[in-house]
A and B are shown apart, each in its own frame.
Chain A
Amino acid sequence: GEDVEQSLFLSVREGDSSVINCTYTDSSSTYLYWYKQEPGAGLQLLTYIFSNMDMKQDQRLTVLLNKKDKHLSLRIADTQTGDSAIYFCAESFGSSNTGKLIFGQGTTLQVKP
């Protein structure tokens, strides 16, 4: 069935770039999403990419999509301590309008001063 995989943990130093990776299985997904969860809070939509795009940039965030390999990445430039959080990638569940998303396990990003 559909599955989304992420590594569980990433540690970087403040000012470095962070790259969080994700693989997915549903080739019919048309949108892929990145969410951020700060401690004790819900998920906040960070950005998304349409499947006919290879790249999307939004200020310090760059999303890269390799559709052939079903690989998605989120790059955060000049990582700050406020970027410490759990990051989830998610794929839309086929073309259904039920709105279901399939989420990865989440990657905990630790930013060291």
Chain B
Amino acid sequence: DVKVTQSSRYLVKRTGEKVFLECVQDMDHENMFWYRQDPGLGLRLIYFSYDVKMKEKGDIPEGYSVSREKKERFSLILESASTNQTSMYLCASSLRAANQPQHFGDGTRLSIL
């Protein structure tokens, strides 16, 4: 079974802090994704990566950056956290082929005070 592990289930940070969310997958997937989930808005794609050191902006990249130094790990960085970044963050991975399903981690509920 595919395992996608997010480093924290719950995280509380302060406004202005630099925040790192980590995601690791164990199935040698090429593609990795970061989403945020807010009530009534569904999942919105922040960034994705289709290979090591490659990244592409999703629909809402502002205020975020990412890092993919190794194939199995994809990090989401909040450069200077703000209260409107309080949300549930979900990481996913998939094989690099058309129409492959994404496999999700359990999510990180991030609160910015």
Residues of A within 8 A of B (CB): 8, 30-31, 33, 35, 40-45, 48, 88, 92, 95-101, 103-106
Contact A96:B98 (CB < 8 A) given known A41-B106, A42-B104, A43-B104: yes
B31, B42, B94, B99: the one contacting A30 at CB < 8 Å is B99
Complex Cα distance A95/B40, Å?
28
B-side contacts of A88, CB under 8 Å? 42-43
13 contacts between A and B (CB under 8 A): A8-B40, A30-B98, A30-B99, A40-B107, A40-B109, A41-B106, A41-B107, A43-B90, A97-B97, A98-B50, A98-B96, A99-B102, A100-B45
B90, B94, B105: the one contacting A99 at CB < 8 Å is B94
Size of chain B's interface in residues, with CB distance under 8 A? 29
A-side contacts of B106, CB under 8 Å? 40-42
What residue in chain B is nearest A1 (Cβ atoms)? B59
Shortest Cβ distance from B31 into chain A, in angstroms? Answer: 4
Other CB < 8 Å A-B pairs besides A43-B90, A97-B50, A98-B56, 9 of them? A33-B101, A40-B107, A41-B107, A42-B4, A43-B104, A48-B101, A99-B94, A100-B33, A106-B43
Q: A105 touching B42 by the CB < 8 A rule?
A: yes
Shortest Cβ distance from B42 into chain A, in angstroms? Answer: 4
B-side contacts of A30, CB under 8 Å? 98-99
B-side contacts of A40, CB under 8 Å? 9, 106-107, 109
Of A40, A43, A45, A92, chain B has the most CB atoms within 10 Å of the CB of: A43
A-side contacts of B73, CB under 8 Å? none
Instruction: Mark contacts of B55-77 with chain A using CB atoms, 8 A cut-off: 1 yes-contact digit, 0 otherwise.
Output: 01000000000000000000000
Complex Cα distance A11/B96, Å?
38
A-side contacts of B9, CB under 8 Å? 40
